[in-house]
Amino acid sequence: MFSKVFKILHHPQINTPYSLEDILKTDAKVDFLVIEGALSRSEKILSRFGYSFKDILDILSKKAKYIICAGSCASFGGIFRLQNEAKIFGALFSGKEKGGFWFNNSKVINISGCPMHPRWFVETLLKLHYGDKLSLDEYRRPKEVYSYLVHHGCLRNEYFEWKVDCKDYGEKEGCLFYEHGCQGPMTHANCNKILWNSVSSKTRVGSACFGCTEFDFPRLALYETKKHMSLPSAPYGISKRAYYSLAGVAKGFKIERLEKRLIDENN
Amino acid sequence: MKITKEIIQKIEGEATLELEWENNKIDYAKIKFLNFRGIEKILENRPFLDALLITPRVCGICNTSHIIASINAIENAYVNMGIKIDITKKAKRIREFALNAEKIQNHIKWLYFSILPEILKINGEDESSIRAFEGKEWIKSQKACATILKAMSIFTGQWPHGSFCMVGGVTCDPTQGDIYESMRYIEEVEEFCEKEIFGLSLDEFISFETSIQIKSTNGNLKKILEVLVDKNLNHMGKSYDRFISFGNNSSLKNPKKCEATRVLNADINYVGESLLNSFFEPNGYTYSKSAIYKNRYYETGPIARMMIIKNPLIRDLHKRNKDSILTRIIARISEIAHLILKSKNLLKKIDIYQKSCISPNIPYDSLTSVGVGYCEAARGSLIHKVEIKQGIIKSYDIITPTVWNLGNGSRENPAVAQKAIMGLTSPNDADLVFKAFDVCAVCTTQ
């Protein structure tokens, strides 16, 4: 479907019909400019093919109808912003703050994630192509993807509900939210709905969600759960009072089934 | 003397070749990687486990190699502090399986993105069949890559950037059904490779002992061999004829080097990094460092691995063509067959009833140590070194395969790819020689 609808004019790595110079020189308009990687206005930090990246973007952004920021680096600055936070940023945001390479640019759509899921990208482009409605959240991310939380569809949900911690890595049981840094309940993405590579996800193989679609990725101490007064933060959009009251009640019960192995072959 | 600049396109990242010409021959070549991202610095002052998440982001195409090298370095730091790390066979097999799957898709992508377009061009053939997103062959190769990554993601959660490694093992705990499903995907990829690349069954192919046997097959491998021989390119791109591979897998347990055909033990402690010509030194012109072993340059990658394990087919090609692009290219393609068969074998041997992870029973912040970890990535040996103080990273050093092969030496003592390029007579030849190394600029300028 993708290859029937879209024509890739240029890609730096794969075998495409036009060179970057062809695209820079032409007067023709393009539908999409896709940006990968953190941006900088400094020629010393970022140049490509003998041009400063700023010059390349100034030219290409005018030709494009939409600018798609593919991934968290292009959206927020991501990991590489940490090298020089003053000079490296995303297209519209520097971390949480508005103002990256551009302060305002209504053409920009962010598809954050490290990496971005290919379906998020393709489906966004298809919507724009067909003129279907595309609602964006406050970080200019498609709502259809980023209204979900990674927590939705996690196979360990029951352990979360009953506050059963994961005892060690490499087991099917237990929730990684309490001690192992899982950000699933506060990370916007539909990973556990559509799955990765169509087959799995981080939490399905017993690793934590590290919040890679959010502006603060990568947090410090990724494998630890940050706590205040020995309590983890409340899930996204749930008040502390609601969450801690419910958690307290759930924790008060010992659910025998959830203390056992999921597949108990001896019993 | 004339100086020309060639921007090498269609590789991961960007590199510039600056060629100095004398009597229509390349007299010297500078290889420039001009973008710097500073991952090693970003890691400083973070808890050491953060390296497991951050180092894979060095490279979108070799991220599994980075998490494996990183976990090996961290586990080595535990061992150096006197803390025993037990890793079950199950966890070891899952790690190696994931690494293999990543190598397979790397080699297939390199073959269809970088090498086949060049070969068709050289042969004056229409390249529309491998044009990205359109060509029939291109689409088939992409499907094979996606499929091998499914086989892997069953254990790693996702590709790229799965976080399935943890101190003492892996985080996943597959069921037997998961293993069957993964096998089903590998068999699909095997079928693609048999039909399109090798033109016969992989079992038959790996039994080949001479390159003449390839002539009886019917796939892209044969095509590449024939075009390179027909166009007299089979002796092009020779370098030092010295190879190194640090292994750490079921095919090669310990570090070895190979001087022409003689295989000797190697020791990780003799690996050094030269900053010569890098921006970290005065008058430097590249962000790439150069890796050296006892102050000498060695080539790493599939050709090195095949020479070291004495693969008969590659040894035969080497006898006739030494370390030319022909041997280098055929070695990389051949490795796909070996990796697929090895991976099937690894899958069959996974015992789901073993533990996936045995975490060492000490708090993270009590770790003060240094560790070195390495593994074989698609393009060659990858080394990570970490220094940890009370659980916090003091320094982190990454030596990628590309800095072995594509470093910059001096006119008198050129690095591996520089030597392979010197003496060539056209920029197109230089481009092909360069691509035969499967250049990855992003790895180099982490």
Strand-strand pairing, A108-111 and A64-70: parallel
Q: Tens-of-pLDDT digits for all 267 residues of chain A? A: 777 899 999 988 777 889 888 999 999 999 999 999 999 998 878 877 778 889 999 999 999 999 999 999 999 999 999 999 999 999 999 999 999 999 999 999 999 999 999 999 999 999 999 999 999 999 999 999 999 999 999 999 999 999 999 999 999 999 999 999 999 999 999 999 999 999 999 999 999 999 999 999 999 999 999 998 888 999 999 999 999 999 999 999 999 999 999 998 887
Regarding an ipTM greater than 0.90, the answer is yes
**Residue (of B206, B181, B185, B374) closest to B291 by Cα position:** B374
Q: Quick one: pLDDT band at residue B44, thresholds 50, 70, 90?
A: very high
Question: What is the rounded average pLDDT for all residues in chain B?
Answer: 93
User: Who has greater pLDDT, A34 or B2?
Assistant: A34
CB B165 within 8 A of CB B68: yes
Residues B440-444: what's their mean pLDDT?
65
Q: Which of B40, B57, B159 to mutate to test the interface with A (most CBs of A within 10 A)?
A: B57
**Residue (of B393, B166, B400, B184) closest to B288 by Cα position:** B400
List pLDDT tens digits, range B324-343: 999 999 999 999 999 999 99
Task: Compute the residue count for chain B.
Answer: 446
Amino acid at B278: S
B157·A202 Cβ contact <8 A: yes
- Neighbour count for residue B217 (Cβ, 10 Å): 18
Q: Quick one: pLDDT band at residue B2, thresholds 50, 70, 90?
A: confident
B133·A8 Cβ contact <8 A: yes
H-state helical runs in B350-390: none
H-state helical runs in A195-236: none
- The lowest-confidence range among B209-213, B302-306, B428-432 is B428-432
Q: Which of A1, A3, A4, A14 to mutate to test the interface with B (most CBs of B within 10 A)?
A: A14
List pLDDT tens digits, range B368-424: 999 999 999 999 999 999 999 999 999 999 999 988 998 888 889 999 999 999 999
pLDDT of residue B89: 98
Q: Which of residues 27-56 of B touch A (CB under 8 A)?
A: 34-39, 41-42, 46-47, 49-50, 52-54
- CA–CA gap between residue B391 and residue B384 (Å, rounded): 17
Strand partners, A89: A39
Residues B59-78: what's their mean pLDDT?
96
Domains of chain A: 2-144 (3.40.50.700), 148-253 (4.10.480.10)
In chain B, residues with a C-beta closer than 8 Å to the C-beta of A197 are: 146, 149-150, 152-153, 158-159
Min Cα distance B46 → chain A (Å) is 7
- Neighbour count for residue A13 (Cβ, 10 Å): 16
List pLDDT tens digits, range B99-141: 999 999 999 999 998 899 999 999 999 988 888 788 899 999 9
pLDDT of residue B338: 98
Strands (DSSP E) along A83-209, which ranges?
93-94, 97-98, 108-111
The rounded radius of gyration (Å) of the Cα atoms in chain B is 21
Q: Is A79 in CB contact (< 8 Å) with chain B?
A: yes
Q: Which of residues 142-181 of A touch B (CB under 8 A)?
A: 168-172
CB A123 within 8 A of CB A112: no
Q: Measure the N-to-C terminal CA separation of chain B; round to a whole number of Å.
A: 33
**Residue (of B15, B77, B413, B76) closest to B246 by Cα position:** B76
DSSP-assigned letters across all residues of B264-322: EE--GGGEEEE-TTBTTSTT--BS--EEEETTB--B-SHHHHHHHTT-HHHHHHHHHHT
- Report the residue from B60, B157, B356 with minimal CB separation from A200: B157
pLDDT of residue B410: 87
What is the tally of structural domains in chain B?
Answer: 1
A221·B163 Cβ contact <8 A: no
Q: What is the CATH number of the domain that holds B436?
A: 1.10.645.10
CB B334 within 8 A of CB B316: no
Q: Which two tokens stand for residue A225?
A: 């759960």
- CA–CA gap between residue A111 and residue A106 (Å, rounded): 15
CB B246 within 8 A of CB B264: no
pLDDT of residue B125: 94
- The lowest-confidence range among A11-15, B184-188, B221-225 is A11-15
CB B100 within 8 A of CB B346: yes
pLDDT of residue B30: 86
pLDDT of residue A114: 97
DSSP-assigned letters across all residues of B325-339: HHHHHHHHHHHHHHH
Residue A111 phi, psi (nearest 5) = -120, 80
- CA–CA gap between residue A70 and residue A181 (Å, rounded): 25
B9 has a pLDDT exceeding 70: no
pLDDT of residue B11: 60
Q: Is A1 in CB contact (< 8 Å) with chain B?
A: no
In chain B, residues with a C-beta closer than 8 Å to the C-beta of A115 are: 60, 160-161
- CA–CA gap between residue A149 and residue B265 (Å, rounded): 51
CB B157 within 8 A of CB A207: yes
User: Who has greater pLDDT, B275 or A103?
Assistant: A103
Classify residue A153 by its DSSP letter: T
CB hemisphere CA count around B382 (13 angstroms): 29
Question: Can you give the residue range of the structural domain that contains B392?
Answer: 2-444
B31 has a pLDDT exceeding 90: no
User: Who has greater pLDDT, B24 or A2?
Assistant: B24
The rounded radius of gyration (Å) of the Cα atoms in chain A is 21
B186 has a pLDDT exceeding 90: yes
List pLDDT tens digits, range B261-274: 999 999 999 999 88
Residues B221-225: what's their mean pLDDT?
97
pTM, entire model: 0.96
